[in-house]
Homo-oligomer: A and B are copies of this chain.
């Protein structure tokens, strides 16, 4: 049976990275190498995701030797939805919820409203869930 998920591996990895960074103090910077090793993500893929998080203003970075990354804001202020969005994929329950979608059905289709309603429940929940609730208690 074919499988389909709403979130990609990249979304999952972005959440891991945010949750891992949230276990450190703001003045500690963590290398991509450490993130990659501890979170079981390839180094290059980790670097790319970390970069996206920085573009989204979720992480900051110190470049150069002994550089690394850190969360810019307290994890209490960072939601799961924020991190999901930083990856830059337009996530919808169904295609008819896309911004420029025009439904080809001539008579009223009530599914649109249902999809919209269900999606709203999902997104509102992900906005409420803060990364501070998902901090990894790993051996440092």
Contacts and interface: CB of A to CB of B under 8 A. Distances in A.
Nearest to A95: B5
Interface stretch (A49-57, A59-67, A68-76, A86-94): A86-94
Given A1-B90, A4-B92, A5-B93, A138 B107 contact: yes
A134 B105 contact: no
A111 B89 contact: no
Contacts of A125: 118, 121
Interface string A99-128: 000001111111100110010011001100
When all copies of this chain in the complex are counted, the total is 2
A40 B88 CA distance: 31
A15 interface: yes
Interface string A10-26: 01100110010000000
A88 to B, nearest CB: 6
Interface of A: 1-9, 11-12, 15-16, 19, 39-40, 80, 88-96, 98, 104-111, 114-115, 118, 121-122, 125-126, 129, 133-134, 136-139
5 contacts: A2-B90, A3-B98, A5-B91, A80-B111, A80-B114
